[in-house]
């Protein structure tokens, strides 16, 4: 009975991928983000989520998919915070589960950061859309199954005591 259910679910998923691949990617990706966040709270209760900032570069460096957020030199512009980006399938999706006010860590730093601002843009939008965001730096990734990017501005949290 279980094998019939699993085969049926597999056939349904395969059919969905062929008919509506973006919708399936969105559902599966969002489920992964929610499960990963819940597992973190069970396995490491009281610890803050953590990202690793990588070297500066561009798409080639980001495409290496090494689990770091690449500082995107193409986004350097007056009035735009330094931007670190990662593909959602390469660890960038961790930020899809973050909320405004959430406290996070950056590997190798003793500073606790807080998400202070959020913006969404279509993929490949002009950098100018990010002018005026406040904070110390931004992190970015794309949403699953959507033509949309998420930008979060991070600033040192007022409360630097670890949970």
pLDDT tens-digit series, residues 64-73: 999 999 999 9
- 8 Å CB contact between 96 and 33: yes
Domains of the chain (ranges; CATH) run: 48-156 (2.40.260.10)
Q: Taking residues 5-31, report their average pLDDT.
A: 66
Q: Give the pLDDT of residue 23.
A: 76
pLDDT higher at 37 or 71: 71
Q: For 99-158, what is each residue's pLDDT tens digit? A: 999 999 999 999 999 999 999 999 989 999 999 999 999 999 999 988 999 999 999 999
User: How wide is the angle at C-alpha 57 spanned by C-alphas 55 and 63, nearest 5°?
Assistant: 95
Residue 26: DSSP 8-state: H
- Calculate the average pLDDT of the chain: 88
Q: Give the pLDDT of residue 2.
A: 57
Q: Distance between CA atoms of 101 and 115, rounded to whole angstroms?
A: 5
Q: Which residue has the tokens 């973190």?
A: 40
Please check the confidence at residue 30 and state whether its pLDDT lies above 80: no
Phi and psi angles of residue 112, each rounded to the nearest 5 degrees, phi first: -95, 130
C-alpha distances out from residue 96 to 111, 118, 128, Å: 21, 11, 22
Q: Give the pLDDT of residue 59.
A: 94
Helix (H), strand (E) at residue 120: strand 112-122
Q: Following DSSP, what letter does each residue of 78-114 receive, concatenated?
A: TT---EEE--GGGTGGGGGG--TT-EEEETT---EEE
Phi and psi angles of residue 110, each rounded to the nearest 5 degrees, phi first: -85, -5
Question: What confidence category does residue 31 fall into, taking pLDDT thresholds of 50, 70 and 90?
Answer: confident
Q: Give the pLDDT of residue 71.
A: 98
Q: Give the pLDDT of residue 39.
A: 75
Spell out the residues 6+ positions from residue 125 whose beta carbon is closer than 8 angstroms to its own.
Answer: 149
Which of 26-35, 41-50, 123-132, 145-154 shows the lowest mean pLDDT across its residues?
26-35
């Amino acid at each position: 009975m279980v094998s019939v259910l699993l085969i049926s679910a597999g056939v349904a998923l395969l059919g969905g991928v062929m008919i509506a691949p973006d919708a399936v990617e969105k559902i599966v990706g969002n489920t992964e983000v929610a499960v990963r966040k819940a597992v973190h709270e069970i396995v490491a209760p009281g610890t803050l989520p953590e990202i690793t900032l990588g070297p500066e570069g561009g798409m080639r460096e980001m495409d290496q998919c090494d689990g770091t957020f690449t500082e995107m030199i193409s986004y350097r512009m007056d009035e735009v915070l330094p931007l670190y980006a990662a593909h959602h399938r390469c660890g960038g999706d961790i930020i899809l589960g973050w909320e405004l006010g959430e406290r996070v860590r950056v590997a190798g730093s003793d500073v606790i950061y807080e998400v202070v601002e959020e913006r969404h843009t279509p993929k490949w939008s002009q950098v100018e859309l990010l002018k005026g965001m406040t904070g110390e730096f931004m992190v970015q990734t794309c949403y699953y199954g959507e033509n949309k990017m998420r930008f979060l501005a991070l600033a040192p949290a007022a409360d630097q005591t670890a949970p």
